[in-house]
Structure 1
């Protein structure tokens, strides 16, 4: 049995074991973990949790193999620490080249303050060499990580974890938060999809959630316009998405394969953990379209999103809203209604009768997407600006030029089709 121990963090002193499909690694990913874990182990200070991601780890479609004249793609990491101050103080001392001059002069406490107060609560170190690899790593406090996973406070890290990543350190107490994040993403995607869709379309929808409100996607050169499609179509990623969401899909009543011939697909149910790549993801999935089914998905949404949707409909309820229990339970729930926001545990957020009326609104999916963008836009924008300062001028220019190069290649490839 594999273990994923925390590195001197608050992780609770226990090891993270393979207790769910997320940690069922293929032999290729297992070897990648053995290769990349020393990068995290080389960083000083307490670390609770860490993952590696990106084209340097989980290969995206059309990612050109590195030639002898090309350097391999930069490897991206995310890690959490129980004490950002302690981490940055130790890291500045051990790896001063990872920080711009002003950060070294300010010290670990100031860096931790800037990390938490601006953007999505992450401090990025970009384009540094560790163990002969060019890496970029983001540091977030474990407290902020848990809030983002459970509540979608900014959806910045939580959204990254909607896609397959390579787990390096996973403390057991974090597993419920990781599970809640995946369930929120799946439930939201099912709400946005029609009664009939392909498996591939489901994963495209899930992967696109965290980019729907990201301002970088609308800026030429900031991101590859085919990024979402490439993530899903990349080698091994179909299995990765099945590993993340297969078990959850199996437990949602009414969601099933249209042809019902699950056994012929080469893997059990929706869970791809026991099989290979199976088919190409073009199998059709069906789900009920009844208000009762859709309303049952709402409680699984992250509280921040659920609150935003409820606030919208309290301020401007659909025409078919009556004066029943649902309306009375949450009157004034949203800021738009002129009242004080109710806490996440208030009856309005669990009132099925209210939600059954809401999901009948023809504009419901549009409202959901708008509320999702509200969560993400400002943190993503300020985090992007902060990245220019955390990396320093020279690295920021190099990083931006590399992004523009990827964008230009993707644009040429699309024009050639």
Structure 2
């Protein structure tokens, strides 16, 4: 998988690097140890630091290689598209197992997100090949609804499989991973996903995203001692804070536990290098080394909390600091209301992006498809 030597990248110069995924056998895998030093340019400058970002020689992120038995079939579905696609992420209950979602395979919707270089070019070519996937043939409307977010085409049949695919630019996806600008794409990748078509930059940025997700989860934990399962449940819950579907019955209220329960071994593999980083830095201490479900306690000194806060995504960090206009980072780190402020900031970020996506879906999917999708979601939540 390691085809990358040292190289400099910009949003407009990133190229695809395709790797052969391996099946999940154990959560321990060859992975480049996590270090903030790799991400200094984006930690200090955000998106403006991409020109200085360097992928380490022989970088590997095998912890993110989470494939399924239907890998070839998923690749075949993606392969039906003529328009160029840089990377594809498969997610949701149709791709990876979740408790409470035991429909026959033929009834499961397969969820994908396509990362493309130019969304306008993709839609223009895709409309010619798959006009029935769209609610309108107007390129002006499609491009307007696309914006900087994700454009979804749900409930389309591809190779006799019910499919939903979202389209986003690599620039927007990478921006969210590195700055948490919306936490819509980044939130999905904080949970196990299946890379149907991948590139190393996506994996590289997601290691930073995973580390930040664990940072937030530890800050939000109400107890200073917790199990590994509880940690992954806290991480999973991050992307649902502020998701309006959780408040209107559009999502299963037990969704977080359902995901972690069925995908626990995937989480263990995905977060193993990040956990090792926290343990090496003495931020977490193992109190019970049970190989099935370890127990940890936090060891967050003021210096440790400053280090963790100071390496959070720039946009998110700036918004957090704005809640403390006259305070130093040390004072912020010691504030008893820090978890509350972090939770509020995440909630406000996600509620905005989830509402925008929800409204956008009414137009991009069409009224009938939107109603069908909403009814299906409500049935799942019951």
Over 3 Å counting, the alpha-carbon distance change for 1:10 and 1:53 in structure 2 is farther
8 Å Cα contact 2:285-2:298 kept in structure 1: yes
Distance 2:324 2:317 in 1: 11
Q: 2:77 maps to what in 1?
A: 39
Distance 2:65 2:83 in 1: 28
Over 3 Å counting, the alpha-carbon distance change for 1:44 and 1:149 in structure 2 is same
Distance 2:335 2:268 in 1: 31
Per-residue CA deviation, residues 50-71 of structure 1 (Å, 9 max, x unaligned), is 11111111110122242xxx84
Select the residue among 124, 149, 174 that pairs with 1:89. Answer: 124
Q: 2:57 maps to what in 1?
A: none
Per-residue CA deviation, residues 125-148 of structure 1 (Å, 9 max, x unaligned), is 000000110000110011100101
Q: 2:322 maps to what in 1?
A: 311
Per-residue CA deviation, residues 76-99 of structure 1 (Å, 9 max, x unaligned), is 111110011111011110001100
Distance 1:14 1:376 in 2: 30
For the pair 1:49 / 2:87, whether they are aligned, the reply is yes
Over 3 Å counting, the alpha-carbon distance change for 1:30 and 1:230 in structure 2 is closer
For the pair 1:399 / 2:378, whether they are aligned, the reply is no
Over 3 Å counting, the alpha-carbon distance change for 1:173 and 1:403 in structure 2 is closer
Q: 1:15 maps to what in 2?
A: 18
Structure 1: gaps (5+ residues): 4-8, 266-278, 318-326, 328-353, 409-417
Select the residue among 156, 159, 170 that pairs with 1:142. Answer: 170
Q: 2:361 maps to what in 1?
A: 387
Q: 1:287 maps to what in 2?
A: 298
Distance 1:134 1:90 in 2: 21
8 Å Cα contact 2:181-2:316 kept in structure 1: no
Q: 2:114 maps to what in 1?
A: 79
Distance 1:115 1:155 in 2: 17
Counterparts of residues 191-210 of structure 1 (less than 5 Å) = 191-193=219-221, 194-210=223-239
Q: 1:190 maps to what in 2?
A: 218
Over 3 Å counting, the alpha-carbon distance change for 1:175 and 1:198 in structure 2 is same
8 Å Cα contact 1:2-1:17 kept in structure 2: no
Distance 2:376 2:14 in 1: 36
Select the residue among 233, 241, 244 that pairs with 2:270. Answer: 244
For the pair 1:228 / 2:256, whether they are aligned, the reply is yes
Report the TM-score when normalising by structure 1: 0.75
Per-residue CA deviation, residues 348-372 of structure 1 (Å, 9 max, x unaligned), is xxxxxx3222122221111111111
What's the secondary structure of 1:76's corresponding residue? strand
Q: 2:146 maps to what in 1?
A: 115
Over 3 Å counting, the alpha-carbon distance change for 1:300 and 1:99 in structure 2 is same
Q: 2:6 maps to what in 1?
A: none
Displacement, 1:303? 1.6
Distance 1:373 1:47 in 2: 31
Q: 2:26 maps to what in 1?
A: none
Distance 1:135 1:30 in 2: 17
Per-residue CA deviation, residues 329-365 of structure 1 (Å, 9 max, x unaligned), is xxxxxxxxxxxxxxxxxxxxxxxxx322212222111
Over 3 Å counting, the alpha-carbon distance change for 1:72 and 1:2 in structure 2 is farther
8 Å Cα contact 1:44-1:87 kept in structure 2: no
Q: 2:27 maps to what in 1?
A: none
Greater relative contact order (CA < 8 Å, ≥ 6 in sequence):
2
Q: How many residues align?
A: 332
Root-mean-square deviation (CA, aligned residues, Å) is: 2.1
8 Å Cα contact 2:155-2:164 kept in structure 1: yes
Q: 1:158 maps to what in 2?
A: 186
Q: 2:30 maps to what in 1?
A: none
Distance 1:201 1:376 in 2: 22
For the pair 1:302 / 2:313, whether they are aligned, the reply is yes
Report the TM-score when normalising by structure 2: 0.82
Displacement, 1:304? 2.0
Higher Cα radius of gyration? 1
Displacement, 1:13? 5.2
Displacement, 1:181? 1.1
Distance 1:34 1:10 in 2: 29
Per-residue CA deviation, residues 118-171 of structure 1 (Å, 9 max, x unaligned), is xxx110000000011000011001110010110011000110111101111111
